[in-house]
Amino acid sequence: MTAQTAAPVPARRSWLTVAWVLMRLSAILLVPLVWVHVVIQDLLIGVHHIDLDYVAMRWASIGWRIYDAGLLCFAFAHGVNGLRQVLEDYIHGRRTRRVIRVLLFGFWLFITMLGAAAVIGGVRS
């Protein structure tokens, strides 16, 4: 009888593997990010009390800016990757899939950069 051993599985990792892992990691990160956001904005503050003074107060803290940029980045990446998965259920052509992936990545990058610039950069008084 031999002892149980771990058999090697040679690496077959591709960007699909990376996308799958990122989907899981972003989901895990989104649990605290979204819930803290919901509890503060919707329950403690309340959406009707969010005004320019409150936004200015948030913007005054670099910690909240990084937090909001992280929320935007991970939530949007999670959503866009999910959209890619759903579209690829129905679009099977290799070339069309590639075009969609490039377009979605560009869309994600543009919106994330724009949002991050607004959230981290703030507004000039």
Partner 1 sequence: MLVTLKIKRFDPERNPSSWWSSFTLEADPADRILDLLVRAKDELDGSLTFRRSCGHGICGSCAVRVNGTNKLACKTLVHDIGSKIVLEPLLGLRVEKDLVVDMDPFFASFRSIKPFLINGDPLPANGRERLQSPAERMRFDDTTKCILCAACTTACPVFWADGEYIGPAAIVAAHRFVFDSRDHGAAEHIVALAEAEGIWRCRTAFQCTTACPREIKVTKAIAEVKGAILRGEAR
Burial of 98 (0-12, 13-18, 19+ CB in 10 A): exposed
Q: Provide the minimum distance between the beta carbon of 97 and partner 1 in the complex, in angstroms, as a whole number.
A: 7
88 CB-near residues (< 8 Å, 6+ apart)? 97, 100
Under rule CB under 8 A, which residues in 16-55 are in contact with partner 1? Answer: 16-17, 19-21
Stretch that binds partner 1, among 8-16, 29-37, 69-77, 110-118 (CB under 8 A): 8-16
Under rule CB under 8 A, which residues in 62-121 are in contact with partner 1? Answer: 85, 88-90, 92, 94, 97
Cβ atoms 125, 56 nearer than 8 A = no
Tokens found for residue 36: 């803290």
For partner 1, the binding residues (CB under 8 A) are 1-14, 16-17, 19-21, 85, 88-90, 92, 94, 97
